[in-house]
Structure 1
Amino acid sequence: MRALVTGASGCLGRALVEQLALHGWDVGTTARQPVALPGFRAADLAHADLAPLVDGIDVVFHCAARSSAWGTRDEFHAANVLATRRLLDAAERAGVKRFVLASSPSIYADGTDRLDLAEDAPLPARPLSLYAESKRIAERMVLGHAGAMTCTAIRPRAIYGRHDRALLPRVILAMRRGRVPMIRGGQALIDLTHRHDAARGMILAASGPRGGVWNITSGEAFRFRELAAMIARESGLRLRGLPLPYGLARWLAGASEAVARARGGAEPRLTLQAVASLGSSLTLDISAARRELGYRPQVGFRQGVAECFA
């Protein structure tokens, strides 16, 4: 079987390349910037000719995305919606049999505590972030694809591990700056997904039924303050929390974002997406993935976080 992995330079993409190679797949890879990976071709999926990427491919694993907490609507649309639409069309024309999207549980978030959500849980009328908005559109497009190609998706929660450029690095940066925001006292429940568990979920989803979407996590949830403490121990950094009420955190994030956008500047230290992610509980029910795909989490956080500092 021949697979194409997009976003192959990222945390999930690299893990997926490793897992596919172990299973004997012939793997092609792509990302925006050159990187030493098997069968690599640099490409901007929103603008490049995609035909050479999908020629002779059996399964496309679409991991590429703009997953930042910061950016414009146009940037998120180009990277997460337009690129997905162009890749879907190119794969269909090339006769690709399967297309698997790495979607996002951010589409569930509404700023309140939401626990043990199944895949059919109601989605908020308005997404909480531009990232969530773009991923929701992309997922709907993939799962509703009407061509001959079978399309599925997973919603992996908070992927971390080696090559993570989002979750752990942000917490570590906050520690080095001085204080880590403890919104609502750091009591929000978060379940995470080690990169290898997420990669296995992607591979299993490639055999799932058309239009299927599955929650994927490592099967355990922690309070944010517990996660931060474990990260501090492994990194050798001191954890100093800054207690923040949820309402105040949202006000500060909103004001920071307004100032940053007015100045055309970089991402502020506190964003609305970060407040939603760290200040409200969001955990997922993975029983459908267990039942329908045979998915079983294999890497717990205490084991997985050690990998990041080995």
Structure 2
Amino acid sequence: MGESALVTGASGFLGGHVVRDLRAHGYAVTAAGRRAAALPEGATFVGDLDDLARFDLPVDVVVHCAALSSPWGRWSEFEHANVTGTARAFEYARRVGARRFVHVSSPGIYAAPRDRVAIREHEVDPSRPMNHYIRSKLHAEALLRAASGRSDRSDRNDRNDRPEVVVLRPRGIIGPGDPALVPRLLRVHERVGVPLMHGGRGLVDLTAVENVALAVRLAAEVPEAAGRAFNITNGDPRPFVDLLDQLLTGLGLPLRHRRLPARVVYGVAGLLEAVCGVLPGRPEPPVTRYTVSTITHSQTLDITRAREVLGYEPTVTLDESLASYASGADRA
């Protein structure tokens, strides 16, 4: 296509995949991130999002992957990284004349301590975020709606000098090199065994990282995507226990489960959060209410809009992604 892009968070798991996918499809990509050694080869910008104010390279598209993602932490840290950081990235896109700003948000904004199935993009309740990370992602999306002069239902013929915004909400990103989702599960498995509430039958939506990179590229290119938000998953929700056992089997690990009552575990998690919240340094609790909710209750996303507007169809299956992770772990 001959277009140019800047990808924030390019030293991270998703950002690195996005950089490689865009380059494979003809984009001239500047990879922006704080960890120089982890940035993909090629044109790079080393620094945090505040440093973008001193960078003037014109690009057609800005893809904002950078974020502080954790179930625990101080609000000030999440606000600076995910709210102020998003404002910095959008201001850069506006200043250099980018036509589109693709923002990687989170389906955590749908989280609730109950089953939610086939969630559509508009089904967000911003009044009760389950943690500071989710609160910061809600604030970032609201900031972009205000800054771009658009909303999910706005007039897409409205033209101004600000970049068009597209928001993606990818669920449970997995694949080779995953530094967060699977490693967290494996640490719990090694220590005590993964807790299963309701028999682990709650449905989980996951997304192969390659499919998220595909969705990012489509969000950058499809004209009709402007001003809209899109759920992104593999479209293949499965019971948590089935995915867990498939992963452990692939890694050659024993199937260690702990069947526990959900209400008790949720209460213990709340108590641990209260205790850790007043300890020096506010250490992360062994388990949080948000984490308990994600493995207890079904949460699946409806990706009809992504299919119909973006033309998105997953190209890497969950089975392939889990096998690829296991293979990479073996090599490591």
Match of 1:169 among 179, 183, 200: 183
Q: Residue 218 of structure 1 corresponds to which residue in structure 2?
A: 234
Match of 1:187 among 186, 190, 201: 201
Describe the shift of the 1:15–1:229 C-alpha distance in structure 2 as closer, same or farther (beyond 3 A).
Answer: same
Q: Residue 130 of structure 1 corresponds to which residue in structure 2?
A: 132
CA deviation profile, 1:123-154 (whole Å, cap 9, x unmatched): 25211111111111111222332352111111
Match of 2:96 among 94, 97, 101: 94
1:11 and 1:161 in contact (8 A); partners too: no
- The answer to which of 211-220 and 267-276 deviates more is 267-276
Q: Residue 42 of structure 1 corresponds to which residue in structure 2?
A: 46
Describe the shift of the 1:33–1:129 C-alpha distance in structure 2 as closer, same or farther (beyond 3 A).
Answer: same
2: CA distance, partners of 1:168 / 1:243: 20
Displaced runs of 4+ in structure 1, greater than 3 A?
A: none
2: CA distance, partners of 1:300 / 1:248: 35
Residue ranges of structure 1 left out of the alignment (5+ in a row): none
**What amino acid is the match of 1:257?**
E
Give the root-mean-square deviation of aligned CA atoms: 1.5
1:142 and 1:152 in contact (8 A); partners too: no
2: CA distance, partners of 1:275 / 1:128: 11
Describe the shift of the 1:36–1:73 C-alpha distance in structure 2 as closer, same or farther (beyond 3 A).
Answer: closer
Match of 2:252 among 236, 259, 265: 236
Q: Residue 27 of structure 2 corresponds to which residue in structure 1?
A: 25
> Percent identity at matched positions?
38
* 1:209 matches 2:236: no
2:31 and 2:39 in contact (8 A); partners too: no
**What amino acid is the match of 1:270?**
V
TM-score (norm 1): 0.95
2: CA distance, partners of 1:36 / 1:81: 23
- Paired residue secondary structure (1:48): helix
Residue ranges of structure 2 left out of the alignment (5+ in a row): 150-160, 328-332
- The answer to which of 162-171 and 99-108 deviates more is 162-171
1: CA distance, partners of 2:119 / 2:294: 15
Match of 2:62 among 35, 60, 63: 60
1: CA distance, partners of 2:256 / 2:139: 38
Cα distance, 1:49 vs. partner?
4.1
Aligned residues: 308
**What amino acid is the match of 2:117?**
L
Cα distance, 1:178 vs. partner?
2.8
1:110 and 1:124 in contact (8 A); partners too: no
Cα distance, 1:44 vs. partner?
1.6
Q: Residue 153 of structure 2 corresponds to which residue in structure 1?
A: none
Q: Residue 106 of structure 1 corresponds to which residue in structure 2?
A: 108
